[in-house]
């Protein structure tokens, strides 16, 4: 943060986010599932169910369908190279017109 001059967006003991324009850089503590030096790409969408249905119809392989976790809807899929990716969106009714 200090060396690169990245503005801190959020900080907790196990998760920190930095503002980098339209992209958020998030760092978390290493674990057995996410060892040091690994990277995981995550996307945010406004309607995760629509994203899930559209991507599934295009052959994207989801390892986890949308579920509520950490206060958001979260799903996981494998990219064309076999790397794990995640996608998140607001919970139903949050941030949408169906409130």
Enumerate long-range contacts of 38-45, CB under 8 Å, 24 or more apart.
Answer: 40/83, 40/84, 40/85, 40/86, 41/79, 41/83, 41/85, 41/86, 42/85, 42/86, 42/87, 42/88, 43/85, 43/86, 43/87, 43/88, 44/87, 44/88, 44/89, 45/87, 45/88, 45/89
pLDDT tens series, the chain, 99 aa: 778 788 999 899 888 989 888 888 888 888 888 888 888 889 999 999 999 999 999 999 999 999 999 889 999 999 888 888 999 999 876 554 443
């Amino acid at each position: 943060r200090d060396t690169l001059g990245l503005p801190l967006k959020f900080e907790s003991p196990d998760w920190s986010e930095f503002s980098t324009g339209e992209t958020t850089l998030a760092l978390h503590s290493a674990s057995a599932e996410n060892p040091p030096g690994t990277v995981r790409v995550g996307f945010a969408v406004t309607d995760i169910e629509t994203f899930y249905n559209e991507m599934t119809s295009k052959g994207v392989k989801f390892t986890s369908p949308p579920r509520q976790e950490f206060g958001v809807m979260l799903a996981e899929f494998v990219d064309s190279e076999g790397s794990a990716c995640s996608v998140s969106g607001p919970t139903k009714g949050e941030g949408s017109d169906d409130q």
